[in-house]
Chains A and B, each alone.
Chain A
Amino acid sequence: MKTWMRFAAVGGLSMSLLLAGCGREEAGTAEGPGESIADGPAEGDITVWAMGAEGENLSVMADAFMRDNPDANVKVTPIPWDGAHDKIANAIAAGETPDVALIGTTWMGEFARTGGLDPTPADLIDETSFFDGAWDTTVVDGVSYGVPWYVETRLLYVNKDVARAAGVDKPAENWEELADSVRAFQEEGGAEWGISLQPGGTGAWQTVMPLVWQNGGDAYDGDQFTFDSPQVVEAFDYYRAFFSEGMSPTDLPEGSLEPDFIADKIGAFVSGPWHMGVLADQDAADKYELWHMPNRQAATSFIGGGDLAVFKDSKNRDGAWKFVQYLSQPEVQVEWYAAAAALPAVEAAWEDPVLAQDPYLAAFGEQLTDAKSPPTIATWEQVAAELDSGLEELAKTDADSTEIAGVIQEQATSIGAGD
């Protein structure tokens, strides 16, 4: 009894202390661009976190940077993509961040809103040197919080043999032609499935948002969500038809996309540049051709990749931004492509023969000039999860597109944009 009372007293006390300190301040005024950094070579320790293959290869670039800046010491810590989001969130919460980190483009909105990212200094980097879609991923509420580092976009991988058998000899120009080509792949080309589109589930929005953009729609207009707009519903209908007409599988077993594509069972699929490597590893580098996204009002694709951000808690702000600036020079971006096969975010880097003379890469480079990213709102990942599960219903049930769009709109609105 006594013990309980003591516990209750301690609990009550800490509760009231907490309550006294609580209450959210009204959202502060928007930040402006960051202050300029000092001139001259970089100095001191610069710690960098980077994920995946980028993390493993970045030390090559760090060495080159340190040759130019002998007083700087860049330490790269590779971290796995899996735990990266939480690790960065924890670092921001604890105030123990690295100086620079690679941030997935769809995380920018969330992390910028924690107040943990340093706004990009105004005069540091020429924003017009990047692909528009790539730069947009760094801009949250009109302020840039980082610099695009590498990009990826999506194209149609089309099975050459199936296309030839189907008598399709040129890329589809618009939505109707794409649907006709896919139907031909299946009916005359001998493919079991004309195309393989992701049937909802995690990341399916990356397949469908481009259709929305092509149709002149968007997910968010800066003020509210627009999933129930006619443009979105129409894009949903177009996506759904591939499944309802039996042209795309709804339950393709994991790992069978590539073997089925190589065995002419699948006519086409939508994917990013990494599939060039996957198919080359399976001796199918000549099996496919790459098609630009079909045109409707636009021929937009999805742009993803990674941005480099500097943290407010950085102990070496000047050095950190100098390293970021170094990595965004065109010639360094080309070297980076050679080291890690990451596509340059700087447009000028694509004029280098290494990239310009490879027809497959050139196709990606061309698509990048018309590629968009989702809105940089803090809750995008959560909204996207709702979108993904709505798309799954669209692909697997006979639910109505308007109805699904309405449900997604309602859920997105209740989630809000996070401000």
Chain B
Amino acid sequence: MTTPSTVTGQTRQTSQRARRARAGWGFTSPFTALFLVFMAGPVLASLLMSFTDIGSADIRNPLGVNFVGFEQYGKLLEDARFLKAAGNTALFVVLGVPLTMLAGLLAALGLNSGLTKFRGLFRVGYYLPVVTSIVAISVVWRFLLQPETGLVNSVLGLLGIDGPHWLADTSLALPSLIAMATWRNLGFLMVIFLAGLQAIPQNLYEAARIDGAGWWQQFRYVTLPMLRPTMLFVAVISTIGYLQFFEEPFVMTQGGPLNSTVSISYHIYDQFGFGNYGYASAMSYVLFLGIVALSLLWFRLLSSRDDR
């Protein structure tokens, strides 16, 4: 038997906890409600859609559709344009992410050590493309890459080189888009790398120098290991962004020539447009799984040993 005093003590405690929980839910309820209605709901709906044959003719009666299990997912493997898009997307990520990271790191290293005089100017210069609308950039680059009147080929012409028609050549269109994406995104990575570089304690470099380490050794054995967490962040963020590349081909090439720049996101967009909602949802989930898998891979590769 418990004494009355402890009982009241317990009830006070529970009622206090309940009140705190209520207050907590109260404070988070605006977000929770918005999240459930506008995020979780559609996410769940699209997951369900991916197992049905829903199409544009069903929009007045969205529940009147047939469940088809994994048929939509199976169709992906026979869709030549999807396979082409998957290949292009993979190439975009495999070439684009390391290239952008390298360029961003080099820019950050330059700004961190050498170019002290115009640091602000360079920082703004590299970062400007990041804050500019990607559609505007794509439109401008389309003009730059014009075969006869474009700036790129005009410069090449000065050197006596007859520049190709970049965006109309099946083997050059995707690399052109990769180059543009690299240029556009390196500013963002540069800022992150710069922060990472400045967080490395100077005494580590001093110690290394006392041990007789040269520039390369300092970079290899001090800078790179210390940048690991930054690298991980940058790699994951750029992989997620690059896996979903869409605006560049949408504005510049419409996926052409001969589907050489069509991406998975672009294909999803097209399929939604054709009213194949079930199929497009299935494709979206495949892309989502790809993003998760690649992010996990980066975590395995780059997270520091003690975190594993």
Contact = CB atoms under 8 A, between A and B. Distances in A.
Interface of A: 11, 14-15, 18-19, 21-25, 85-86, 89, 92-93, 95, 110, 113-116, 200-202, 250-251, 253-254, 256, 378-379, 381-382, 385, 389, 392-393, 396-397, 418
Contact of A14 (B44, B52, B168): B44
B60 A92 contact: yes
Interface in B234-273: 254, 256-259, 270, 273
Contacts of A393: 258
A379 B274 contact: yes
Contacts of B257: 251, 392, 396
B259 A389 contact: yes
A22 B64 contact: yes
A41 B188 CA distance: 64
Given A85-B273, A89-B56, A251 B165 contact: yes
7 closest cross-chain pairs (CB), A and B: A251-B168, A93-B59, A382-B274, A21-B63, A113-B57, A24-B66, A251-B165
Contacts of A385: 270, 274
Nearest to A382: B274
13 contacts: A15-B48, A92-B59, A114-B60, A250-B168, A251-B257, A253-B146, A253-B149, A379-B274, A382-B275, A385-B270, A389-B81, A396-B258, A418-B55
Given A24-B65, A382-B274, A385-B274, A95 B52 contact: no
B44 A253 contact: no
Interface of B: 44, 48, 52-53, 55-67, 81, 142, 146-149, 165, 168-169, 254, 256-259, 270, 273-276
B57 A378 contact: yes
Contact of B56 (A114, A251, A396): A114
B56 A110 contact: yes
Nearest to B63: A21
A18 B275 contact: no
A25 B56 contact: no
Contacts of A392: 256-258
B165 A253 contact: yes
Contacts of B66: 22-24
Given A110-B275, A396-B258, A93 B64 contact: no
Nearest to A7: B40
Contacts of B258: 389, 392-393, 396-397
Contacts of B142: 254
A22 B274 contact: no
A19 B274 contact: no
A397 B258 CA distance: 9
A146 B164 CA distance: 48
Contacts of A93: 59-60, 62
Contacts of B65: 22-24
Contacts of A201: 254, 256
Given A110-B275, A253-B165, A24 B64 contact: yes
Contacts of A18: 48, 63
Given A22-B52, A253-B146, A397-B258, 13 more contacts: A23-B66, A24-B53, A86-B273, A110-B56, A110-B275, A251-B147, A253-B148, A253-B165, A382-B274, A385-B270, A389-B258, A392-B257, A396-B257
Given A93-B62, A202-B254, A19 B67 contact: yes
Nearest to B271: A382
